[in-house]
A and B are shown apart, each in its own frame.
Chain A
Amino acid sequence: MTPKEKMAIPPQAMPEQDAAVRARNMNEVALGYTAEMAKTEASRCLQCPTKPCMQGCPVAINIPGFLAKAAEGDFASALDVIKETSLLPAVCGRVCPQEKQCQKFCTMGKLLKDVDKAVAIGRVERFCADLARETGAEKPVACAPKTGKKVAIIGSGPASITCAADCAKAGHDVTVFEAFHRCGGVLVYGIPEFRLPKAIVRHEIEAIKQLGVKIENNFVIGRTRKLRDLIDKDGFDAVFVGTGAGLPKFMGIEGENLNGVFSANEYLTRANLMKAYLEGSADTPFWHGKRVAVLGGGNVAMDASRMALRLGAEKVYLVYRRSEAEMPARKEEVHHAKEEGVEFHMLENAKRVISDGKGAVAGLECLKYELGEPDASGRRSPVAVEGSEFVLDVDTVVVAVGNASNPLIPTTTEGLEINKRGNIVVDPETNMTSIPGVFAGGDIVLGAATVILAMGEGRKAAAGISAYLSK
């Protein structure tokens, strides 16, 4: 095919549940390509010799390589190519912000002058991974001979899963310690079922168990056992800290502790991990908000607003103090949220939560904002418009303005260096912390970031651990 012919192939749309129906159920929104669609979409790839897409991928997947295989219909080989550098393609294909990574640089998108018309790399990636999982065609992974070294992994989010898998493949004896009763970190408690089915996360956890990784749930390092005890008393030769961000930020405004105000973490954890949406069978209750305001503009805010609809809200307002162009959320989620009926209130911000006099939310006073001069980060900073107060009639407020670093491990581990934001400081080459033999990666190092970055860090740390242990 000539480039011209390729340009003429229509981008394959993702089949989706109807917006009105899906806004009231928990099932996955994006239904996935058929084999035919995946093949067609992959065949749009121009096989650019300079591979611009790869620069945008944080783990440098050989994108044209796997697309070439997929275009031939050889999805198993395509998956092999992906797995050379990525461990969780079924997850990343669903949750990566592709329009800011690989697809942003894609030549096809440039030629058609629309990033939405770039090759849908993530969707093809997802198809390859789903096909192998659903047909039981995943290839067994070989582990190197046992090294006799013990590695402890703290947390079980994407950074930890990746580090555990790589360490097990390198022949180390690996144990994961997870505070929650389920593994997966944000993938199970934060990102909702309708965006990332939990069966996929379970499958990935099973896969690391198959590699011989042991898992201790309900085990909080810093409390049940101190990090240093793992080394000094329990015989671990190296430790990886992948404890995530996990400390919800609040706005610090009046009325924020009223009943009906939740951090997005609490709101989503109740619904996802604790299954509160199964009312009548689950013991954990959820708040029956009819009119919900969600504060923030990231993926977490999108997930919380769409969850609110699914929990029966009649009105959901998304309040964000910048404009839509600045929203950090994945473009597809923004689009989905709008389709499902979330009302976007851009350039507005909460000033105070109004009480009903009985300890619960009766409304949210907001201020209008305008964009001022660009700040140090280059983003135009929002400035409040004086006297522009108005009240949103809501009974529920979900605060999704970000997560800081959970201090539990740093405060219980002497000598572990953190920066002023509370993130653990690591050597950028090896991900080793200020304590020899202790490594860290993912959100606890980067600040709240992304799944793919966490995965990349887990991988780098595993290499660092193996190098350290072979000394």
Chain B
Amino acid sequence: MNRIISKSRLSDNVYKMQLEAPLVAQERKAGQFVILMVDDELGERIPLTIADADAEKGTITVIFQTVGATTTKLSRLEPGDSIAALLGPLGRPTSIRGENGEKPGHVVCVGGGIGVAPMHPIAQALKAAGNKVTIIMGARNEGLFVMKDEMAAIAGENLILMTDDGSSGRKGLVTEPLKELCEAGAVDEVIAIGPPIMMKFCALATKPYGVKTTVSLNTIMIDGTGMCGGCRVSVGGKTKFVCVDGPEFDGHEVDWDQMLSRMGAFKPQEQAAKEHVCKAGIFK
């Protein structure tokens, strides 16, 4: 069960894996995620968004960056190995404009770093529902873009690339073209997925224009079923559990400072655990 079918390295510390998970592949919808464990004795449970799925082959695709102990261990597994535990699909599916009662329109998808991966199925669904889809992708430099071709296939000429150093596309932050598009007045909805700080600034950028902005939060989680409350954030002044009420929320309502601070709650311990794994790796 949960066998790794394929693995590829998308950039320095970003990997793509195809996993055998027939039931998850059948049930999953855009915006949902899985929780997995690499070791079910002493490992931790981490959420990863489902980037793609093939119900017929019974596989799902996840894309992850090696940021902590578990993602580092995961990156060391090879095709044929199994993931100790995989649970999903979790969370509420994305509400797709055109399918949810609202008329199709112009939707801008902003993906930062590996946030492009979870954006992929959403952009696909938006397009299929008859929306005009503009995609803004941001990365520190050209080498860090993931799934550029897949996104180009959806957005066509409406693909805007942004890099911090200008090595590809425009130099600058994703919020710049986002503001310009809102300014031009033809945006009905924005979906932003990426580092929390990017999502925060996207929400700030669209707020003056009153454009609905959905963000996908990737908080610390344990069970993923609403049992622990570890994933909670304030949205519109109310406490919400990201794993069951989310992961997507109205970006204008999220308490970003609290969200950012909660993401860092276990930073020192996580760093220590990662170093432990990395050092152990030298002797492998």
Q: Which residues of A contact B (CB under 8 A)?
A: 179-182, 217-220, 223-225, 246-248, 250, 256-260, 262-263, 265-266, 269-270, 274-275, 278, 280-287, 358-360, 406-408
Contacts and interface: CB of A to CB of B under 8 A. Distances in A.
Interface of B: 23-24, 27, 37, 39-45, 69-70, 84-90, 222-230, 232-234, 239, 244, 255, 257-258, 261-262, 264-266, 269-270, 273, 276
Contact of A256 (B41, B239, B255, B270): B239
B23 A224 contact: yes
B42 A257 contact: no
Contacts of A359: 257-258, 261-262, 264
B44 A248 contact: no
A220 B24 CA distance: 11
A269 B222 contact: yes
Contacts of B222: 266, 269-270, 274, 284
Contact of A220 (B37, B40, B44, B90): B90
Contact of A259 (B24, B227, B229, B261): B261
Contacts of A259: 261-262, 264-265
Nearest to B24: A224
Q: Which of B44, B90, B229, B234 has the most CB of A within 10 A?
A: B229
Contact of A257 (B41, B228, B262, B269): B262
Contact of B273 (A270, A274, A285, A287): A285
A283 B85 contact: no
B261 A285 contact: no
Main secondary structure of the interface of B (DSSP, over half): mixed
A92 B87 CA distance: 31
A225 B27 contact: yes
Contacts of B232: 257
A263 B228 contact: yes
A224 B266 CA distance: 30
Contacts of A281: 42
B223 A269 contact: yes
Contacts of B69: 283
Contact of A217 (B45, B85, B224): B85
Contact of A246 (B226, B258, B261, B262): B226
B87 A224 contact: yes
7 contacts: A181-B37, A181-B87, A257-B232, A266-B228, A269-B228, A274-B222, A287-B266
A274 B228 contact: no
Given A250-B229, A274-B222, A181 B40 contact: yes
A180 B234 CA distance: 26
Given A182-B40, A217-B85, A265-B228, 8 more contacts: A181-B87, A225-B23, A250-B229, A259-B265, A262-B230, A263-B228, A269-B223, A283-B70
Contacts of A257: 232-234, 239, 255, 258, 262
Nearest to A265: B228
A286 B230 CA distance: 12
Contacts of A275: 41-42
Contacts of A287: 265-266
Contact of B244 (A182, A274, A408): A408
A280 to B, nearest CB: 7
Contacts of B226: 246-247, 406-408
A142 B169 CA distance: 72
Nearest to A229: B27
B44 A274 contact: yes
